Amino acid sequence: QVQLVESGGGLVQAGGSLRLSCAASGGTFSGRLMGWFRQVPGKEREFVAAITWSGAITTYADSVKGRFTISRDNAKNTVSLQMNSLKPADTAVFYCAATQPYYSSTLSLRENEYPYWGQGTQVTVSS
């Protein structure tokens, strides 16, 4: 069983940057796909970005492509999301998620394939 804890959220002006981090503990980290999702109250949670266990392959939602970068450090059991050029539409609770340790190089955008979730961190972008 792996536990995930996000940090780095906050309030930022449009055009600014934030870096979210997710620390994993309690289980194998390196073999898992890691993803970031976000949710606005009243809306379904949506995929943001994902990274393979090796870090070699990443994918992004079209809405964040070119602005957000996902990365991971398997030695430190962390995954990060660098968010640049933030927009008010990025305001949401951001969640870190992990799959089982499949050592897969096939990325998943579906949240039901991520059984482990953090508690979320609020990101608010003011106009």
Q: Which residue has the higher pLDDT, 108 or 123?
A: 123
Q: Which pLDDT score, from 0 to 100, does residue 37 have?
A: 98
Q: How confident is the model at residue 107 (pLDDT cuts 50, 70, 90)?
A: confident
Contacts of 120 (CB under 8 A, 6+ apart): 6, 39, 93, 94, 95
Q: Which pLDDT score, from 0 to 100, does residue 120 have?
A: 97
Yes or no: say if 19 and 12 are a contact pair by the CB < 8 Å rule. no
Strands (E), 1-120: 3-7, 10-13, 18-25, 34-39, 46-51, 58-60, 68-73, 78-83, 92-98, 116-117
Per the prediction, the chain carries an average pLDDT of 96
Q: CA-based Rg of the chain, rounded to a whole angstrom?
A: 13
pLDDT 10s digits, 64-91: 999 999 999 999 999 999 999 999 999 9
Please state the rounded mean pLDDT for residues 51-57.
Answer: 94
- For residue 7, report the phi and psi dihedrals to the nearest 5 degrees: -155, 165
3-state helix, strand, coil in the chain (%, to 5): 5, 45, 50
